[in-house]
Amino acid sequence: MKLELFGIKINKILLTIVLLFGGETLVYGQSNENKVSPKSYIAHYTKESINIDGSASESSWSKAKPTELFIDIEGRKIPKYMTTVKMLWDDEYFYFLAEMEEPHVWGNLKQKDTIIFYNNDFEIFIDPDNDTHNYYEFEVNALNTLWDLFITKPYREGTPVLNDWDANGFKSSVKINGTINNPNDTDNGWVLEIAIPFKVFRTSYHHKNIPKDKFWRVNFSRVNWEFELQNNKYSRKRDDKGKFKPEYNWVWSPIGIINMHQPEDWGYVYFSSKKVGEHDDFTIPEDEKVKRLLYQLYRKQKEYYKKNNRWATTFKELEAGSVSVEGKKIVKTIENHQTGWNITVVSPHTKHLFIIKEDGKIIQKED
């Protein structure tokens, strides 16, 4: 089935692959227990100067390919309105162009660092080092109001949000294909163009973090609310009990549950050194399958603790006696200590050691 979004014809495909569990054998195929598989995208290099004005008039944008159409966050439903993103990069910025179909473009939040997803918004999530910790979130509404966040650990670990963190040098612009906050007409949608400096993601002053020919973990979320009119003004719709009706969560790479803060399930963006318009290939590394298996064990430990008020000390307790990835058995160990536990596995592909801790952080050792 083909749909057209801002002149782009895109196939609407939902692919789900099933993960099999049997007895005490934990098997990894092409996805995780949520029955979703991460998306990937190749962001090409551009030498063209990109003017962040929302018009996307540069030839680089016309050459860049859009992502697949966004899907419901659980990976099961087709969204009501269409969304795609394009990405580019140069020696200074990571660029985004989000195109969103929307017949009623509205917004009322104008103060930076307010809870922007109380309006319809577009959100970017980025984990540069792929360890699920110290990641970034950016939310922008149709009024071009920004909420930028630095998150040290996923919320499941009871982590406070660093709301006073600022993405210095962040640039964005919105173009409305219609008229914002006018209920008397029907809009086509809105376009959001963003440039985020790579220096925003530095972990130290001299950190050289331009990800040439490398990948980052990235995902996008579009929050969309049903609305009602009060005095001819838009607001979130309430139910019969006066509570706000739940929002829709439409994403690029589905999570399997309604929770964007699972960085291990985000997509992969590869920063190709080839110029936009040139062909390149990217395959998600085999070791990423090993990491996803580690997160299955991590979740099993969390479930075990809820039931028993202690961590499991053996894989038998976790019902994961034999573990394999793509038919290759995994060498693994579990170690408990006073503050938690470590589970270590050896990749059958590269022989690298991967360690996951009780807080979900993954450590890689190559020697």
Higher-pLDDT residue of 18 and 57 is 57
Higher-pLDDT residue of 173 and 23 is 173
- What value does the mean pLDDT take over residues 107-115? 97
Q: What φ, ψ does residue 56 adopt, rounded to 5°?
A: 55, 45
Q: 367 falls in which pLDDT band (50, 70, 90)?
A: low
Given a cut of 60, whether residue 93 has pLDDT beyond it is: yes
- The rounded mean pLDDT for the chain is 90
Given a cut of 60, whether residue 173 has pLDDT beyond it is: yes
The pLDDT value given to residue 35: 66
- What value does the mean pLDDT take over residues 128-153? 97
Q: pLDDT > 90: what percent of the chain?
A: 83
CB atoms within 10 A of CB 103: 12
Ramachandran sector of residue 206 (left: φ over 0; alpha: ψ -120 to 50; beta: rest): alpha
- What value does the mean pLDDT take over residues 117-126? 98
Higher-pLDDT residue of 163 and 128 is 128
Q: 13 falls in which pLDDT band (50, 70, 90)?
A: very low
- The secondary structure of 26-82 as a DSSP string is EEE-SS-TTS----EEEEEE--SPPP-SS---SHHHHHSPPPPPPEETTSSS--SS-
Given a cut of 70, whether residue 131 has pLDDT beyond it is: yes
Q: How far apart are CA 188 and CA 62, in angstroms?
A: 20
Name the nearest CA neighbour of 43 among 60, 57, 56.
Answer: 60
Q: What tokens does 72 get?
A: 């419901």
Q: 230 falls in which pLDDT band (50, 70, 90)?
A: very high
Name the nearest CA neighbour of 346 among 297, 295, 287.
Answer: 287
Q: How far apart are CA 87 and CA 98, in angstroms?
A: 9
Contact 169, 200 (CB under 8 A): yes
CB atoms within 10 A of CB 207: 11
Using alpha carbons only, give the angle 192, 274, 63 rounded to the nearest 5 degrees.
40
- What value does the mean pLDDT take over residues 150-167? 92
What residues contact 166, with CB distance under 8 A and at least 6 apart? Answer: 148
Given a cut of 70, whether residue 79 has pLDDT beyond it is: yes
Name the nearest CA neighbour of 199 among 183, 210, 188.
Answer: 210
- What value does the mean pLDDT take over residues 251-274? 97
Given a cut of 70, whether residue 16 has pLDDT beyond it is: no
Residue type for position 286: E
Name the CA radius of gyration of the chain, rounded: 22
Span of 4-13, 123-132, 319-328, 355-364 with lowest mean pLDDT: 4-13
Contact 137, 125 (CB under 8 A): yes
- What value does the mean pLDDT take over residues 125-135? 96
Contact 324, 330 (CB under 8 A): yes
Q: Which residues pair with 235 in a beta bridge?
A: 228
The pLDDT value given to residue 219: 98
The pLDDT value given to residue 18: 27
The pLDDT value given to residue 36: 81
pLDDT digits (tens, 9 = 90+) for 25-56: 454 443 344 568 999 999 999 999 999 999 99
The pLDDT value given to residue 21: 28
What residues contact 95, with CB distance under 8 A and at least 6 apart? Answer: 46, 50, 87, 88, 89, 193, 194, 195
Overall pTM > 0.85: yes
Given a cut of 80, whether residue 6 has pLDDT beyond it is: no
SS3 272: strand
Contact 37, 335 (CB under 8 A): no
- What value does the mean pLDDT take over residues 154-180? 94
pLDDT digits (tens, 9 = 90+) for 294-344: 999 999 999 999 999 999 999 999 988 788 888 888 889 999 999 999 999
What share of residues in the chain are helix, strand, coil (percent, to 5)?
A: 10, 40, 50
Q: What φ, ψ does residue 146 adopt, rounded to 5°?
A: -105, 140
